Amino acid sequence: MLLRNYQEVAVGDLLADSMKLFGQTGPKKLVFRAPTGSGKTIMMAEFLKSLVECPEFGVPLAFIWTAPRKLHEQSKVKLEKYYENSRALECSFFEDLDDRQINEGEILFFNWESIRQENNVYIRENEQDNNLSTVLERTKDAGHEIVLIIDECHYHAKTELSHNIIQMIAPKLTIEVSATPAMEYPDEIVSVPLDAVKVEAMIKKSVFLNADFSNVVHGQRISSELAASTDEIVLREAIKKRNEIAAAHSQAGTSVNPLLLIQLPDRHAQADEDLKVRIEQLLKDQHGIAVENGKLGIYLSEDKENLENLTRNDNEAEVLMFKQAIALGWDCPRAQVMALFRQWSSPVFSVQTIGRLMRMPEPSIGHYRNDLLNHAYVYTNLDDIQIKEDIGKDYVTIYTSHRIKDYKPIQLSSVYRKRHREETRLSPLFIEIFLKAADEYGLAKRIKTEGQKVQPSFIAEFEAADVDTLAGRQLRGTIKLDEASGMDLQRLFNYFVRKNLSPFYPEERSIGRVKEAIYGFCRSQISLDFFTHFEDTLNVILSEENQRHFANVLDAAKEHYKIETQKRQAQLTVKADWEVPERMTFGADHIPSEVTKSVMSPFYHDNRWKTEKAFIKFLDLPQNNVLWWFKNGERDATFFAVSYQKHGTRFPFYVDFIVMLTDGRIGLFDTKSGRTIEDSVEKSDGLQHYTAKNRSQKVFGGIVANTDQRNFAGRWMVFSGKGEDLRVGDFSNWDLLEI
């Protein structure tokens, strides 16, 4: 599996922190915090693989993976699939263990609730002496350090019994994994930012709360126009949105059938049963959705219907009724709409409530062209809603602004920067660069190919009177073997590649690129085909005399590769027909503002910059010939940018305002004040170059500032000269902005 950038960073941080903690005395605790949908299990799988394969580590490790409910079974399936080819670790249940111990490189998967029960078969003593305490004792007697992974730790890691179990396991390292960790006083914390996961299009951009209905924020709580509605109206709006998304998927040519989740209260009161019956009847009578026609799935402890292949993107079920119990660890990326009714007990929107909606249905594609498909939608008539910090207030969309109906297309040429993963991993381009570097270095002439043999060594007996004297020392092998086995050669080659990959993260794809490059060289330049002369090829590459030459070529190739990828990163993509977005969304950090000429209605602003706020007042003046104005954003192709150059590299400059005048002219203005004026030299030149190039579209503009930079009560001026002539407080070479 190709890891995303943020996943590689997280795995690297986990590995570095774990190695640091293992070097310290006593049991240690590590928290791994990652948002729902970020691929926590995959990151942990790669981290554990890196840990056991790290030659610098050298400690034999055995693992215990615990999780609540049946999540441990799902995790075992995922990790087995991940290790299917590498066989890096063995995944086992209790009954799979050999000789009643956890072997080196083996993961024992446990259901946390079961081991918390003192009378459980795995806990209590038995005639076969086959219980957890025996397994732990035998594992430690074999010289294995134990790493305990507690998945979804917030569910079970804080009770007294849980602490007793952890003490009994006595791991060297405990790693708690969750979107909402509960561990107190961890030694290290590794966190994955929510924004990084969104940028990689692994999860949806946001969750809309009661889309197209008015929402009002009161401190930490939200009230909504939909709160006064009946369950019937909430259900109607949710199904309407699901059908709208389904039509958009069909138009996009995908096979995704979006799923509406109806979450029922977790209680078992008669009123809750009545709600279930009533919702089923409404679905059947008003919307033609029923268990009988396969469009309704039910996932309740006492009632399960149409669940087979439910998580497949093309499954025919359109609605699933469930309780909170399903939410933990349940993956169904096609789930995109949720309905919650007033009878639902908790008014708190947390990651456990809406986490099931966050995943994108086709991660390999990521976000779709139609932005409707890149968001999730929650409809509820709850009177009082609180959004917990664990989901990030910026993830829940409370406000929506729409482009005015009489907007006419402007088709401006804009630029944006495409993301390039080559910065952190090696692409096929590296193979070409390596072969060229090998040719320039004269590698084929420098290496010896006859009689090359790798002789691995191991450390003979070593004793230190004082352990402190070992600090910083490197122990070298003193006894050499006559020859290395095929397995030894492969491991040594893997280590050689990993060691020489820095600064690129040694994930499988990058390691594979280096191997492919070296194999290609051997095949074409010294007539050694890896597939037919496996051991001969590796003996030549890894011999003491040849290793340094291959390492030198790798260093040169990496330098050339970095230069080439930086060139690509500097390239901007042109969008020839940019338009003002049809819709914009905002979280609780924005507030509605009373304006008259905004092209987006209603207009929401975060009020961070006084200069922008003052300029908006100026644009809204009745005497100004402004038809509309647009407050621009600062990301990707969604918003407008011009190109500018700094230190030889091109960047996108997202100007603050696009202004349409009544005479058809389009103004591009970026507001500045104080020292920020002098920091705009290159941006100003880029903007002036753009306006000169696009005069046929009546485009003009520049850096704008107020002569009264404290109270903004002076004149608004625009700079259209050369950037080098910009001066703070000197408006002698500026023009009065007349619109």
Query: Is residue 481 predicted with pLDDT exceeding 50?
Result: no
Between 157-161, 535-539, 632-636, 707-711, the lowest mean confidence (pLDDT) is in 157-161
Mean pLDDT across the chain, nearest whole number?
83
pLDDT reported for residue 531: 80
**DSSP per residue, 87-102:** --SEEE-GGG-STTSP
Q: Average pLDDT, stretch 150-174?
A: 73
pLDDT reported for residue 156: 54
Domain boundary among 176, 198, 220: 198
Flag whether 406 is in a domain. Answer: no
Q: How confident is the model at residue 478 (pLDDT cuts 50, 70, 90)?
A: very low
Domain count, the chain: 4
pLDDT reported for residue 220: 59
The CB density around residue 635, as the number of other CB atoms within 10 Å, is 12
Contact 169, 23 (CB under 8 A): no
User: Do 503 and 640 share a domain, yes or no?
Assistant: no
Report the sign of the C-alpha dihedral through residues 725, 727, 729, 735, in that order. Answer: positive
pLDDT digits (tens, 9 = 90+) for 560-604: 988 887 776 667 889 999 999 998 888 777 888 899 999 999 999
Flag whether 471 is in a domain. Answer: no
pLDDT digits (tens, 9 = 90+) for 184-230: 788 999 999 888 888 888 889 888 888 877 766 655 567 676 776 78
Query: Is residue 557 predicted with pLDDT exceeding 70?
Result: yes
pLDDT digits (tens, 9 = 90+) for 497-535: 888 887 776 666 788 889 999 999 999 999 988 888 888
Which domain, by its residues, includes 260? 201-397
Q: Average pLDDT, stretch 393-416?
A: 88
Flag whether 539 is in a domain. Answer: yes
CATH of the domain at 216: 3.40.50
Contact 242, 253 (CB under 8 A): no
Query: Is residue 464 predicted with pLDDT exceeding 50?
Result: no
Between 139-148, 335-344, 450-459, 613-622, the lowest mean confidence (pLDDT) is in 450-459
Q: Average pLDDT, stretch 103-107?
A: 92
Q: How confident is the model at residue 472 (pLDDT cuts 50, 70, 90)?
A: very low
Q: Average pLDDT, stretch 125-151?
A: 81
User: Do 194 and 54 share a domain, yes or no?
Assistant: yes
pTM above 0.85, yes or no: no
Domain boundary among 351, 381, 397: 397
CA distance 70 to 479: 49
User: Do 547 and 665 share a domain, yes or no?
Assistant: no
User: Do 588 and 718 share a domain, yes or no?
Assistant: yes
The CB density around residue 113, as the number of other CB atoms within 10 Å, is 15
**% of the chain surpassing 70 pLDDT:** 83
User: Do 656 and 706 share a domain, yes or no?
Assistant: yes
Does an H or E element contain 18, and which? Answer: helix 5-22
Q: Average pLDDT, stretch 719-725?
A: 89
pLDDT reported for residue 469: 37
The residue ranking higher by pLDDT, 456 or 151, is 151
CATH of the domain at 142: 3.40.50.300
User: Do 726 and 625 share a domain, yes or no?
Assistant: yes
pLDDT digits (tens, 9 = 90+) for 331-365: 788 999 999 887 655 555 556 667 788 889 998 88
User: Do 582 and 557 share a domain, yes or no?
Assistant: no
The residue ranking higher by pLDDT, 402 or 486, is 402
pLDDT reported for residue 503: 72
Domain boundary among 168, 198, 228: 198
CATH of the domain at 629: 3.40.1350
pLDDT digits (tens, 9 = 90+) for 615-664: 999 999 999 999 999 999 988 888 999 999 888 788 899 999 999 999 99
Token pair of 195 as six digits: 């924004």
Tokens 């006492």 found at = 302
Flag whether 311 is in a domain. Answer: yes
Flag whether 417 is in a domain. Answer: no
Query: Is residue 95 predicted with pLDDT exceeding 60?
Result: yes
159, 187, 586 from 602: Cα distances, Å: 48, 47, 11
Which of 610, 608, 673, 666 shows the shortest CA–CA distance to 640?
Answer: 666
